[in-house]
Structure 1
Amino acid sequence: MPQARLNARTLFISDVHLGSKDCKAEFLLHLLKRVDIERLYLVGDIVDFWAMKRQIFWPDQHHKVLQQILAMARNGVEVIYIPGNHDEVMRKYRHPDVASIRIQRQAIHTTADNKRLLVMHGDAFDAETCHSRWLSFVGDHLYDFLLWLNRTTNRIRNLFGHNYWSLSAYVKSQIGKAEEVIGRYRAASFRETKKRGLDGIVCGHIHHPELVESDGLLYANTGDWVENCTALFENHDGELSLMKYTFSDAQPARLSRFRRRRRAYNNAA
């Protein structure tokens, strides 16, 4: 049976890492083909140039994701691309419109209920979240090992007919140091939002999807398409929802939502 279309005002995605073996391009492609949206924000690390420097990896599904985004732009969807650190080479482009896609360092998004949100990748907060270069180096290598272990685990799960499950995200959630870094990153995001006099921030970078409010300010992290397969939606009333895919033919599960004039963080999964 044909699956229902997903209708929204805005879609935010980040940390896709096309060109990396850990990218879940098939899940994202499934989502992009089902959405009817007015605006798409690509919030950094869409293409992983770092990974491709080590090894060229560009399967058909990765190419199809890019082609789908370009097709959406040609068909009237406003596409704003905010490069991250893994695709920072794109920050050099100053032309406002490349293949119908606008490239810019940051953006201010106004929701349907007139909330002004800063949209940025989030690597600018690295100095505030990890004070030791040595710790950062070790963390990067441990993370690469976790992603390898994640791929291996899910190949075995797939053989037995089980759905995708992120081992790497689970391990990170059990490590106190990781939670500490996430907390510092969130705090730095709130400080930047308050300094600019805005209502909230939408970012990515740390591969930890989250939608929370503190002191009247909103923090929305879109997550990633390496471990969590998550995206942030804005509906036509301005409500924000964090959605998760677990396998390519699944209905997306709502992780959390944020309603106007409501201060609660709602877990729905």
Structure 2
Amino acid sequence: MFPKSWMTLAQRPTGGATMRYRACWISDLHLGSKKAEAKLIYSFLKKNEFDVLYLNGDIIDIWRWKQAGLLKAKNTQEHINVVQRLLKLAKKQAQVHYTIGNHDEFLMHFLGEQHSEREFGNINLSERVTHVTASGQRYLVLHGHQFDLVTRTAPWIAKLGDRGYEFTFWINRIVNRIRRRLGLRYWSLAKFIKSRVKKATMIIGRFEESALHYAREHGYDGIICGHIHNPEIRLHDEGPAYLNSGCWTDRGNCNALVERADGSIDLIQWDGEREILLKSTDPERDGVYFPTLEELNEKPTKSVNEPLQTV
């Protein structure tokens, strides 16, 4: 039998597969580009509730808008729906923070020379922000391109690399079209390359080291970023934790970091209906399955190490 707190959550009137998060971090939506999973992004924002929502950079892909002009008509409304949902959340439900990335760096002009935080339409716009968890842990939140040597020193190479990334997704679409016809499940070429190519893993490793060094030097308990499209929770016996919220440009990812009521942070994947728990800052909950409200309203057959409580 599930603990009482699960039942309390199930009785909430929102219905569907809704979860409530004390805080949530999503990044690299790349709205405006063909690779943005706009439908999945919208369903995540629609079916869940947030006390605080962090949009951690590259939410809008201005690089793509400059190259392609307007979005294709068939995709435009899906992307607009996401923007409208974010504005509605900021107005009626959540405290929304937008930290600027490299693909939406044009927004830095609104911060002025001092890069001070500004508010636009109930959304707090900044370069970085500090989040304090329910357990008192201090996390630095920023997109992460600040730790990417190529992006900082040779932006033209970064843009060239982005073209290569687009080509990878073009191949990925063709491969998965064939796989669907053969009755095979979705397969991510981008994820395969990152996990198998030695140079890619070295770049990711250097990025993590730079981010952790900065967090350590400034006295943070952890750092939360995006940018490299590689979702992760990495804890250390001594020193700050490294968390990366991944991206929403590949059905094989669609990740978010979410804070539970007890202050622990989980890395999840969204499949359109429910969250899939991948990793947690709470070792006892690593790999534990979190059921949806629909499943809770049925006869429960599973148990969990630690219940999700409302906040």
Q: TM above 0.5, one fold? A: yes
Q: Report the CA distance shift for 1:255/1:204 in structure 2 as closer, same or farther (over 3 A).
A: same
RMSD: 2.5
Offset of 1:265 from its aligned partner?
9.7
Q: Which runs of 5+ in 1 are unaligned?
A: none
Q: Report the CA distance shift for 1:133/1:61 in structure 2 as closer, same or farther (over 3 A).
A: closer
Match of 2:174 among 152, 176, 181: 152
Asked whether 1:72 is paired with 2:97, we answer no
Aligned amino acid, residue 19 of structure 1:
G
Give the TM-score of the pair, scaled to structure 1: 0.89
Distance 2:21 2:224 in 1: 17
Match of 1:4 among 1, 17, 25: 17
Aligned amino acid, residue 43 of structure 1:
N
In structure 2, the partner of 1:32 is 45
Deviations, residues 86-111 of structure 1 (Å, cap 9, x unaligned): 00011111372111101011000000
Aligned amino acid, residue 212 of structure 2:
F
Distance 2:198 2:138 in 1: 33
Distance 1:97 1:134 in 2: 31
Q: Which runs of 5+ in 2 are unaligned?
A: 1-14, 112-116, 290-311
In structure 2, the partner of 1:240 is 265
Matches of residues 1-269 of structure 1 in structure 2 within 5 Å? 3-55=16-68, 56-57=70-71, 59-94=76-111, 96-127=118-149, 139-159=161-181, 163-214=185-236, 215-227=238-250, 228-246=253-271, 248=272, 250-259=273-282, 266=286
1:37 partner SS: strand
1:201 partner SS: strand
Offset of 1:83 from its aligned partner?
1.1
Distance 2:184 2:81 in 1: 25
User: How many equivalent residue pairs?
Assistant: 263
Q: Contact conserved, 2:25 with 2:53, CA < 8 A, in 1? A: yes
Distance 1:149 1:46 in 2: 23
Deviations, residues 49-74 of structure 1 (Å, cap 9, x unaligned): 00111112252111100000000011
Higher RCO (CA-CA < 8 Å; seq separation 6+): 2
Greater C-alpha radius of gyration: 2
Identity of aligned residues (%): 36
Deviates most, 156-165 or 175-184: 156-165
Q: Contact conserved, 1:128 with 1:185, CA < 8 A, in 2? A: no
Deviations, residues 1-56 of structure 1 (Å, cap 9, x unaligned): x6321111001000000000000111111111111111000000000000111112
Give the TM-score of the pair, scaled to structure 2: 0.78
1:169 partner SS: helix
